[in-house]
Amino acid sequence: MLINENLVQDIVQEVVAKMQIAEAPGGKHGVFTDMNDAIAAAKASQAVIRRMSLDQREQIISNIRRKTHENAEIIARMGVNETGMGNVGHKILKHKLVADKTPGTEDLKTTAWSGDRGLTLIEMGPFGVIGAITPCTNPSETVICNSIGMIAAGNTVVFNPHPQAIRTSIFALNMINEASLEAGGPDNVACTVEKPTLETSGIMMKHKDIPLLVATGGPGVVTAVLSSGKRGIGAGAGNPPAVVDETADIRKAAEDIVNGCTFDNNLPCIAEKEIVAVESIADELMHYMISEQGCYLISKEEQDRLTATVLTPKGLNRKCVGRDAKTLLGMIGITVPDNIRCIVFEGEKEHPLIAEELMMPILGVVRARDIDDAIEKAVWLEHGNRHSAHIHSKNIDNITKYAREIDTAILVKNAPSYAALGFGGEGYCTFTIASRTGEGLTSTKSFTKSRRCVMSDSLCIR
């Protein structure tokens, strides 16, 4: 019998990862059975953190970065095994990105006025204990990214992670608390409960010791947080369109869009979810996607079968979210070679596989008469989320018009969507893009409150 070596290797790696998952929650740093206890522990550790020097806080952050690098592969495997979503190699890259490019204490900037009447400072101070809710699509990425920013700002944090990703989230939390302990900081800088539920998140949202809530997820959780009566940062859903006009480098646009769309099997909320292409270049774009970028064109009848498989009457079929193209095609009885990484078809903007945020490597292509028609269609497809949008064009007027009309927190030009996270683009990384509440790409400063510190008639030394 022929044994496929890759298959054996995959099975071995999966078994090893599962054994490590089984051991991971054994380290109980930051893990409680009762949400009230988790909040009390985070409150006690915040009292310590806020008295530590910025240097000491930065040492904790630097330990989190190092440990994230050391554990990138195991944590990526855990995420894929536990949620059934995503791509291990891409998740490793995401964790390294979080470790390297999430801002730390350097993000805290002081504003000063000095003059005859003295010196006034605006300092960015911590809120206290932050309540954070995290998605199953980027579970540990978000836990680590949030923790770095929140702790760097002098807060501690209690998470109510997605139940489908709790073991992966607990592994990340163990790592974060160990990073603090190794830096001489307290345990429980980041806490959670063993079994997060809507009830535990309700306790967190109402708790008197939680002044700030941060929700990363779909519309339900963001609305829940913003209805809590507390200050909330809402990082909600997107449905990012990629517009391609006649001035673009079409071959590169095809490559960039498919690279962005297929990254971690389309799980990132910023990833290209559909294309709007002007008529004159639509065929050429399709040609490059199919002949050079591993895209598989599906017929009308196959579109119907795929629609019935991925969209149930109750909404998205969770068994399809974050799956690769080959698996999705297999679900509708189509066998393709391993190089197929994306499913493509042409359709109207109202097609359910185009209008819905799928989080799967499926790219519907909508034709537009010209750039104005393309912009109108893209704005409709973004559904007012004001989250992310992308364009491939060399016409500055077209880019400017699109940017003004679509009004999103992120707009990537002539690159894959992940350039927005600092991956192949300038700027810092975050996995919490506060589209609903306007902070945009969150960082340490987003988790601070403004404090004015006034010295009258002294300390002006000009």
Confirm or reject binding of residue 437 to ligand NAD (CB under 6 A).
no
CA pair distance 266, 87, nearest whole angstrom: 10
Q: Quick count: other Cβ atoms within 10 Å of Cβ 51?
A: 9
Which of 40, 226, 235, 243 forms a contact with ligand NAD (CB under 6 A)? 235
Going from the C-alpha of 180 to that of each of 3, 128, 336, 375, the distances in angstroms are: 46, 17, 47, 48
- Give me the residues paired with residue 277 across strands: 244, 367
Q: Which range, of 35-43, 89-97, 133-141, 287-295, touches ligand NAD by CB under 6 A?
A: 133-141
Q: Which of 182-190, 283-291, 425-433, 453-461 is the region at the interface with ligand NAD (rule: CB under 6 A)?
A: 425-433
Q: Which of 46, 68, 105, 134 binds ligand NAD (CB under 6 A)?
A: 134
Segment near ligand NAD (CB under 6 A); pick from 233-241, 300-308, 361-369, 410-418: 233-241
The type of residue at 182 is E
Q: Residue 30 interacts with ligand NAD (CB under 6 A)?
A: no
Angle at alpha carbon of residue 153, lines to 147 and 157, rounded to 5° = 40
The reply on whether position 124 binds ligand NAD by CB under 6 A is: no
Find all residues with CB under 8 Å of 378, minimum gap 6, and list them: 241, 243, 276, 389, 402, 406
Binding range to ligand NAD, per CB under 6 A, among 32-40, 58-66, 115-123, 216-224: 216-224
40 vs 18, 47, 184, 210, CA distance in Å? Answer: 32, 11, 20, 10
Task: Name the minimum Å distance from CB 220 to ligand NAD.
Answer: 4
Instruction: Note whether 137 binds ligand NAD by CB under 6 A.
Output: yes
Instruction: Give the nearest residue (CB) to ligand NAD.
Output: 217
Nearest approach in angstroms of CB 439 to ligand NAD is: 10
Nearer to ligand NAD, 172 or 235 (CB): 235
| Residues 357-416 contacting ligand NAD, CB under 6 A | 357
Place of tokens 């707009």: 411
> Which residues are paired to 157 by β-bridges?
130, 190
- How near is the Cβ of 459 to ligand NAD at its closest, in Å? 41
Place of tokens 């979080």: 98
CB atoms within 10 A of CB 393: 22
Q: Which of 162, 207, 341, 377 binds ligand NAD (CB under 6 A)?
A: 162
Do the bridges between strand 362-368 and strand 274-278 make them parallel or antiparallel, or are there none, so unpaired?
parallel
User: With the C-alpha atoms ordered 139, 144, 150, 156, is the resulting torsion angle positive or negative?
Assistant: positive
What is the footprint of ligand NAD within residues 325-364 (CB under 6 A)? 357
Least CB distance to ligand NAD at residue 268 (A): 7
The gap from C-alpha 58 to its chain's centroid, in whole angstroms, comes to: 23
Q: Which is nearer to ligand NAD, 161 or 294 (CB)?
A: 161
Strands (E), 161-227: 190-193, 212-216
Query: Contact at 8 Å (CB) between 155 and 129?
Result: yes
Burial class (CB in 10 A: 0-12, 13-18, 19+), 461: exposed
d(CA 103, CA 147): 11
From 121-129, 210-218, 244-252, 271-279, span contacting ligand NAD (CB under 6 A) = 210-218
Part of the chain binding ligand NAD (CB under 6 A), chosen from 68-76, 123-131, 215-223, 255-263:
215-223
Pick from 59, 156, 201, 259 the residue near ligand NAD by CB under 6 A.
201
- Does residue 131 interact with ligand NAD by CB under 6 A? no
Cβ proximity to ligand NAD: between 46 and 201 the closer is 201
Closest CB 224 distance from ligand NAD, rounded Å: 4
- Asked if 251 and 292 count as a contact pair (C-beta separation under 8 A), the reply is yes
The minimum distance between CB 145 and ligand NAD, in angstroms, equals: 10
Q: Can you give the binding site for ligand NAD, defined by CB under 6 A?
A: 133-138, 161-162, 198, 201, 216-218, 220-221, 224, 235-238, 269, 357, 431-433, 435
